[in-house]
Amino acid sequence: VFFLACSAAMSPLGWPDFTLARSARVAGRDAGGSPVSAQVEAVPLGNVRLSNTSRLWEAQRINTAYLVKLDPERLIYQFRTIAGLPTQGAVPYGGWESPEYVEGLINGHFTGHFLSALAFTVAGTDGPEAAALREVSSHLVADLARCQAAIATTSPHLAGFLSAYPIEHIERMEAHNATQVWAPYYTLHKIMAGLLDTHRLLGNVEAFAVLKGLANFVHGRVSRLIAAKGPAWWTQCLEVEFGGMNEVAYSLYALTSDPAHLELAHFFYKGVFMDPLARGQDSLSNNHANTHLPEVVGVARGWEVEKNATLHEIVTNFYAILSQNYSYATGGSNVNEHWQFGAQLGDAIATRVNLSTGIAGNSNGFHTEETCTVYNQLKVVRHLFEWAPSVPLADAYERMLLNGIVGVQNTDEIGSLSYMTPLGTAVARTEFDWWGFGSQNA
């Protein structure tokens, strides 16, 4: 574990003092938002094609087939409903996207995943399917723009808002009322990330305009809440999962140079988790892994944009603690979605087995290495590798990719991924687990 001193004073809102010379900030923002301190950079996705004899190509083929199957009219259904627009006779999808799922707590998050998946697939493949999926992406973005405009027309005070759940979800969260609220900003992050990926990889300027409108709405709303209730009140709101809102805000700021977008990233700094990491202390224990991993990814993006040394220390300390105390040989981490049993991972994978029958009962060993967390761990390692490439980081990335991403794909059913990678004794994916949507990980 690294034990490094925090190099920045803390502001009243709990995030590090981000005051930097303007020249240093501007130097960190090129047109593509590339890391200012990168030692290596990824080859642009549009310049990479997979060999059709590889397992990775097969995974890409299956994923592409899944995207082709999805109906954008069904994905836009609830956005149109919230905006007061006709739903064109579409039928919404079920599961977490169903309006009936506890009254649509995170409706719209999958649409954001879908936009990102479309962008990566179109950029990374060729042929008629890629061309068709580009049209799907453009159509979906245009529909989202119409929904955003309709909301602004009927409710000017909500100008910029775009979601498949009603504004009351955010209002209840802001009031610290947990009734009918799950993770409204988690969902908005998925939508914003999808729009950003669509602009960045496909050059869709309409997606960029919708994204900026939504970011400005969120910035204005949080600013007013802090002004009315105080910083401590907003800090409590950050106890609700918010995905990588800081990451998308930093990346947007890298493109716009708008100070509001930088402040938006600062709003989503969770000091209670990050500050101990800046001091080299373990704040992972018993925390929900995929709540905090995207936040760490956002801190990494913040280092690249602002070059605040504290942010760099947080990320490097986090990964040192994660890899040394909570990671399995497969590269993944966590049990029952949480980081537990630090440096005692035998307990994390413990499985109750009937010695007479050899059959394992429902226990920890069935519920290890949530797939969503592997996806976000890969993003952390990618940032670290760009800053200081090394063989151990490359090996870690390979283990996570092959075991926790490629390895969870059900090749017999298009669009089916395993929720967990069970690591206990006498376990199987088909027990005490479930298979889910193919774009769900984020």
Question: In angstroms, rounded to a whole number, what is the distance separating the alpha carbons of residues 130 and 1?
Answer: 45
Per-residue pLDDT at 118: 98
Residues 402, 258: Cα–Cα separation, whole Å: 39
Grade residue 19 by pLDDT with cuts at 50, 70 and 90: very low
pLDDT of residue 102: 67
Q: Which residues of 221-256 are buried (b: 16+ CB within 10 A; e: fewer)?
A: bbeebbeeeeeeebbebbebbbbbbbbbbbbbbbbb
DSSP 52: T
Q: Which helix (H) or strand (E) holds 38?
A: none
- Residue 434 CB neighbour total at 10 angstroms: 11
Helix H segments across 16-75?
A: 22-27, 55-69, 72-75
pLDDT tens across 277-315, in order? 999 999 999 999 999 999 999 999 999 999 999 999 999
Taking the CA atoms of residue 328, residue 333, residue 339 and residue 341 in that order, the dihedral angle to the nearest 10 degrees is -10
At residue 437, the 3 state secondary structure works out as coil
Residue 31 has pLDDT above 70, yes or no: no
User: Checking phi first, is residue 95 left (phi over 0); if not, alpha (psi -120 to 50) or beta?
Assistant: left
pLDDT above 80 for 22: no
Give me the residue label for tokens 């998946």: 117
Which residue matches tokens 């992972």?
284
Q: Are 389 and 398 in contact (CB under 8 A)?
A: no
Structure confidence at residue 7 (pLDDT): 28
pLDDT of residue 36: 56
Residues 340-388 have pLDDT tens digits of: 999 999 999 999 999 889 889 999 999 999 999 999 999 999 999 999 9
Q: Look-up: residue for tokens 């956002």? A: 298
Q: Tokens 């592997």 correspond to what residue?
A: 374
Q: What digits encode the pLDDT tens for the residues 256-283? A: 999 999 999 999 999 999 999 999 999 9
With H, G, I as helix, E, B as strand and everything else as coil, classify residue 333: strand
